[in-house]
Structure 1
């Protein structure tokens, strides 16, 4: 089989490595628009990985635990004023696990994955091809596969299968079959914390206007810090007009006591938020995974984890097809329907939560608080929710 992987972000690199490991005899071409010599190690964008994703990266020999901060506890709560505050505590120890997930910079994830790919490709130069600085302008269906239009010239090559793994933020993407503009902004950056910091605690706070999250990061020379994701409606978003002290004061007021004291804040970047998803992963011999298949609101922090599970499911199906002699089209169809029970509940849940913050129904805060309080008391249900967040459906 001849496979084209388009996009060398986390999902694309993981897919290429999995395919190289498990699909004996496959020719794999990894495309990306960026140059190979571009240093990505300093990319500080924050990523949250669940335990299932960490285990996948460990199997691929591309996990660097020293660059990540483990999450041992997740605290979800609702900010006042609310008739019922409600809160949920999910602890790794209660699940019998060492951690629930981890937080790390984008560069600390992609750089090891890319280096691992280059090392494996160097050992199999006739099967594994690194085609960076090569944008794919179009994918054309043809009998038995696809052909790619690249920056190298006209149609450069034919493939049995093309997998699109290019990500990007909502505002930069072409619209897919299902799209919804939430008219919300995500403000992202880092905050400084008074010692001892969050120490493995991730906080999700439901405020009147939207979710506010603090994710623990490894301490640096200046002490404890955390990644900030702050979602606000565009019609009521005046964050750009506030100075650092004012931003800190507003955030501190919204956070629970468990967050401790904020002592500083970095410059914040702003991204419009929306839902952008394909109804199906597969179109002919082109399949989409990760953000190329579904771009979600960050309220649950599950977008990348979903993409990595897409990659795993595809390679598993291709390997099973090769071992049983089943056709490629049957294997791809299997992936398409097999991923639905994992994709659609996550798409629906994040869409509902994102839209609910725009609703000004009088009883909604009380219902949200009651749901959190009920989940905290319903131990089996809380355990099931925790397992789904760690390993998917």
Structure 2
């Protein structure tokens, strides 16, 4: 039965038909800028204001942090004409393995290789610096603001201190002065240690040491490594060669996860770190020649139970901060941004559309949260045979191409 007294959803307007939707985005990182650009280009009814605390005129292009983007994220940035292809290092193969001791007496290698050619795609993803992603996004947004100054606004040097829901469902935003918006999206991320705790949180008591390393040039270009050790995962992400690099060497970004309370990396000097790390990497990675300066940060899960709270939405690291074991945090955020705009662009009832955003993002969000949380916790479990079980799981994926392909597609495009 239908309720004939109630209009269908597409006629149920939560806003006057002629009124623009005032959208505020808090955070001008890659997720916030991507959301702003998609909203400006795909959602004609939106008037978009982007807030960020960083000073106007600050050059973001030199930020050296490393980002790993999935193929789906690359395609989203290509769609916006902001993908810096000449600066990005494509990932064409991923090698996953379990470090010994594992599978003792079993003639099976705990190794898994995912190849872009096998999946019928040119690349599985790409690696580049944070500044190389954010700078073209920011230039594109500044161009949008210049072309449509009545509709697109960039408020740099303007930290947002508070959000307050109003009785009419709108949101009051305090950024020095109070302003009212129909919808506020928080895209500010930050790292686990600095975040206020959300609805679902767990401290993994692990530290990630990150930096760059140099290896000999024996491995194929575009090959990334994920190595599971007894302390935690170690990842190597291929980097684009830079002027002055020796032709006999290649550069890679390192993510080395270890226990926080008994940290085996902190007391070591660079030479000792090189020696220890070389024993952890698979032979296929080649010979490790140099370890650069490393920085550390605490690892944990910090996730909202829902993306949507009234007319406030959280996306990216503001919604879910994950362990880096699968490198999916930023990719989730970009998919959050695109889905939000795709759902709202033709909506005539903002609140109904936001409920659809929540439901449509749930499978992708929760499958990734569950997978990374399980893997991260497994490195803290002291269970006999756990390493062998993990190694058998890796070997089983390699022996089951359809399952391996399904995993690869989810890593590239999320769960659909």
TM over 0.5: yes
**1:232 paired to 2:252:** no
Q: Which runs of 5+ in 1 are unaligned?
A: none
Q: CA deviation at 1:227?
A: 0.1
CA deviations 1:144-182 (Å, max 9, x no partner) are: 3101111x33x1x11000000001000010000000000
Q: After superposing the two structures, state which structure 1 stretch, 218-227 or 337-346, moved more.
A: 218-227
**1:7 paired to 2:31:** no
CA deviations 1:98-122 (Å, max 9, x no partner) are: 1000000000000010001111111
Q: How many residues align?
A: 386
Secondary structure of 1:111 counterpart? helix
Q: CA deviation at 1:195?
A: 2.1
CA deviations 1:166-224 (Å, max 9, x no partner) are: 01000010000000000000000000111245510000000011000000000122241
Question: What CA distance in whole angstroms lies between the structure 1 residues aligned with 2:181 and 2:341?
Answer: 16
Query: Is the Cα contact below 8 Å between 2:88 and 2:127 reproduced in 1?
Result: yes
Question: What CA distance in whole angstroms lies between the structure 2 residues aligned with 1:295 and 1:243?
Answer: 30
Secondary structure of 1:95 counterpart? coil
Q: Which residue of 2 aligns with 1:129?
A: 153
**1:364 paired to 2:386:** yes
Query: Is the Cα contact below 8 Å between 2:169 and 2:310 reproduced in 1?
Result: no
CA deviations 1:70-121 (Å, max 9, x no partner) are: 0000000000111265110000000111100000000000001000111111
Secondary structure of 2:103 counterpart? coil
Q: Which residue of 1 aligns with 2:61?
A: 41
Question: What CA distance in whole angstroms lies between the structure 1 residues aligned with 2:366 and 2:233?
Answer: 21
Question: What CA distance in whole angstroms lies between the structure 2 residues aligned with 1:357 and 1:339?
Answer: 28
Match runs of 1:57-206 below 5 Å = 57-83=77-103, 85-142=109-166, 143-150=168-175, 152-153=176-177, 155=178, 157-196=179-218, 199-206=221-228
Query: Is the Cα contact below 8 Å between 1:197 and 1:225 reproduced in 2?
Result: no
Q: Which residue of 2 aligns with 1:210?
A: 232
Q: CA deviation at 1:320?
A: 2.9
Aligned-residue CA RMSD in angstroms?
A: 1.0
Question: TM-score under structure 1 normalisation?
Answer: 0.97
Question: What CA distance in whole angstroms lies between the structure 2 residues aligned with 1:39 and 1:197?
Answer: 35
Question: What CA distance in whole angstroms lies between the structure 2 residues aligned with 1:283 and 1:95?
Answer: 38
Secondary structure of 2:54 counterpart? coil
Secondary structure of 1:62 counterpart? coil
CA deviations 1:111-151 (Å, max 9, x no partner) are: 0100011111110001000001000000110123101111x
Question: What CA distance in whole angstroms lies between the structure 2 residues aligned with 1:197 and 1:113?
Answer: 32
Q: Which residue of 2 aligns with 1:274?
A: 300
Counting helix residues as a fraction of each chain, which structure ranks higher? Answer: 1
Question: What CA distance in whole angstroms lies between the structure 2 residues aligned with 1:367 and 1:169?
Answer: 31
Query: Is the Cα contact below 8 Å between 1:281 and 1:336 reproduced in 2?
Result: yes
Segments ≥4 residues shifted beyond 3 Å: none
**1:294 paired to 2:320:** yes
Secondary structure of 1:49 counterpart? strand
Query: Is the Cα contact below 8 Å between 1:198 and 1:260 reproduced in 2?
Result: no
Q: Which residue of 1 aligns with 2:346?
A: 320
